[in-house]
């Protein structure tokens, strides 16, 4: 069945792939892209070209998740979606100490608060309708093996995962379902590393470089060496499309695609089992599944 779907961070990487895969599946997709009149003019034009060439319903909407006004405007254009895909994410690399508190606040504003703003704008319609699906694009870094120099990004993704897991319980009685899609690290096929931010405190960064010369380069090289030749970031888009197509009540709470096998699959399995058991002990196991009746 055709659905109206809102995808944040759709200018490149997973967001671009997800929005196109969903449009190809016959859905109406609102692709949220920041600065479509400037930095992302080309990305917006390419989305329109893709829609015209494929004959699909892929619509670009201006979206800056750090701006309440921008989020409200995008929400008014999209109306109440059947599915909201939280994909916006910005990566930073470097020693954690060398990032200022303001930089971390900006990072969390994009990676965590941005999703919260979208929820506050779009969940009321879903709650009124007693139906909907939240798809959160997470990261294996929240519970898998984590190399150094990515700490602020990992912390932000952990915050997003915690918000997703808790809100899943809070919206279940409104008939709203949740799936967390968990990608591993991809050194090619996305722009995560290419567009990564760097620490502002250069003196502190230089001090670390003295003791850990070229460590970030080594991490990149070793992560690339672990990555199988057939690792395909487009699989994340296919997973999202499959989740959307799955019957309500049968969608998985969490789905991984981690070609590097950093251990998150194992740890998340334990954590999600403990979560389920604890809700059962509280007598709230019914919150683990969305209410089907209106």
List active site positions: 153
DSSP of the chain: ---EEEESS-SSHHHHHHHHHHHHTT-EEEEEES-TTTTTHHHHHHHHHHHHHHT--EEEEE--TT-HHHHHHHHHHH-S-SEEEE-----B-S-GGGS-HHHHHHHHIIIIIHHHHHHHHHHHHHHHHT-EEEEEE--GGGTS---SS-HHHHHHHHHHHHHHHHHHHHHGGGTEEEEEEEE---SSSSSTTTT-B--S-HHHHHHHHHHSTTHHHHHHHHHHHHS-TT--THHHHHHHHHHHHSPTT-S-SEEEE-TT--SHHHHHHHHHHHHHHHHHHTT-GGGGS-----
* Residues with Cβ within 8 Å of residue 260, at least 6 apart in sequence: 140, 184, 185, 223, 226, 227, 228, 231
Our CA angle for 169, 170, 172, nearest 5°, is 65
């Amino acid at each position: 069945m055709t659905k109206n779907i809102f995808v944040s961070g759709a200018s490149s990487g997973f967001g671009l792939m997800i929005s196109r895969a969903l449009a190809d599946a016959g859905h109406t997709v609102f692709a949220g892209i920041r600065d479509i009149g400037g930095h992302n003019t080309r990305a917006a034009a390419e989305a329109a070209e893709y829609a015209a060439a494929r004959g699909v319903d892929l619509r670009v909407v201006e979206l800056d998740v750090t701006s309440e006004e921008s989020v409200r405007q995008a929400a008014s254009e999209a109306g109440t979606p059947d599915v909201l895909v939280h994909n916006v994410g910005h990566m930073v690399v470097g020693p954690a100490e060398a990032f200022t508190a303001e930089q971390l606040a900006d990072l969390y504003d994009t990676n965590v608060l941005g999703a919260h703003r979208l929820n506050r704008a779009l969940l009321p319609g879903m709650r009124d309708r007693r139906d909907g699906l939240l798809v959160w694009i997470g990261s294996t870094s929240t519970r898998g093996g984590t190399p150094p120099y990515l700490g602020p990004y990992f912390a932000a993704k952990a915050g997003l995962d915690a918000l997703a897991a808790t809100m899943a319980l809070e919206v279940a009685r409104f008939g709203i379902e949740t799936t967390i899609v968990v990608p591993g690290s991809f050194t090619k096929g996305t722009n995560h590393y290419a567009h990564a931010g760097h620490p502002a405190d250069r003196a502190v960064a230089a001090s670390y470089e003295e003791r850990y010369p070229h460590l970030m380069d080594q991490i990149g090289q070793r992560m690339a060496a672990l990555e199988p030749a057939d690792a395909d970031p487009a699989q994340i888009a296919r997973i999202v499309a499959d989740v959307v197509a799955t019957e309500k009540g049968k969608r998985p709470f969490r789905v991984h695609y981690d070609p590097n096998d950093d251990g998150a699959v194992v740890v998340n399995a334990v954590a999600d089992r403990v979560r389920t058991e604890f809700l059962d002990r509280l007598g709230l196991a019914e919150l683990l599944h969305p209410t089907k009746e209106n």
